[in-house]
Amino acid sequence: MKGLRTGVLLAGGRSVRMGLDKAFLVWREKPLWLWQGELMRAVGVERMVLSCRREQGLEGEVREWAEANEMALEVVFDPERAEGGMVEALELAVRAAGERALVLSVDMPEVTSELIGVLDDVEGGCLLEGSHGPEPFPGIYTGAMMEVIAAVGGALRRGLEECVEGGLARAVGVPEALRAGLANWNRPGDVK
């Protein structure tokens, strides 16, 4: 991605439906956090903001990997009382990232560099258009987008729709061949 050098990896959450921490779920011999870290590196991200829970113990592993791969890393811990859930974690991470960042979710390991390449890197935010409207991840987020999402009470999908309608983000179509990359792994049966 030309010009976009910061990425956010959302790796916190409680993974209640999965029954185990998705960040450490091993798929094809790698934990899911590593899939996303390597993907960020492949698309040119030089600085990663990791959003995780303090008690996960993820920070150390990711820091070692980032240092070995010459990627700058900033860690943002989910609030102790995460009443805002994933949206609150997203807001903190995007704020730490700066004005624009590629945002990935740890539970979407089938995202590819080709799918990320569909995102428009001109300016502002960019989201992929799914069957139910703008998809939250992967996406390019801005601080202005997070303000809109917060203004609608943290309803992520509704906030993203308002960002597109208000011109803060573009929604771009996903070629049929890349749609599988939008799969979100929430339950054990989702793992391929």
Residue 115 is predicted with a pLDDT of 95
- 1 domain residue, yes or no: no
Residue 84 is predicted with a pLDDT of 57
- 167 domain residue, yes or no: yes
For the chain (192 residues), the mean pLDDT of every run of 10, in chain order, is 85 64 85 95 96 91 96 91 75 92 94 93 88 93 95 91 96 94 78 76
- 191 domain residue, yes or no: no
- 185 domain residue, yes or no: no
CA 8/CA 100 separation, integer angstroms: 10
* Overall number of domains in the chain: 1
Joined together, the tokens standing for residue 168 give 């803060």
Q: Which residue has the tokens 């916190």?
A: 12
The boundaries of the domain holding residue 67 are 6-179
3-state secondary structure labels for all residues of the chain = CCCCCEEEEECCCCCCCCCCCHHHCEECCEEHHHHHHHHHHHCCCCEEEEEECHHHCHHHHHHHHHHHCCCEEEEEECCCCCCCHHHHHHHHHHHHHCCEEEEEECCCCCCCHHHHHCCCCCCCEEEEEECCEEEEEEEEEEHHHHHHHHHCCCCHHHHHHHHHHCCCEEEEECCHHHHHHHCCCCCHHHCC
CATH code of the domain in which 143 resides: 3.90.550.10
Residue 79 is predicted with a pLDDT of 80
Q: Which residue has the tokens 């990232």?
A: 97
- 186 domain residue, yes or no: no
Residue 110 is predicted with a pLDDT of 93
- 97 domain residue, yes or no: yes
The letter for the amino acid at 105 is S
Tally of CB atoms within 10 A around 100: 22
Residue 112 is predicted with a pLDDT of 96
The pTM of this model reads 0.93
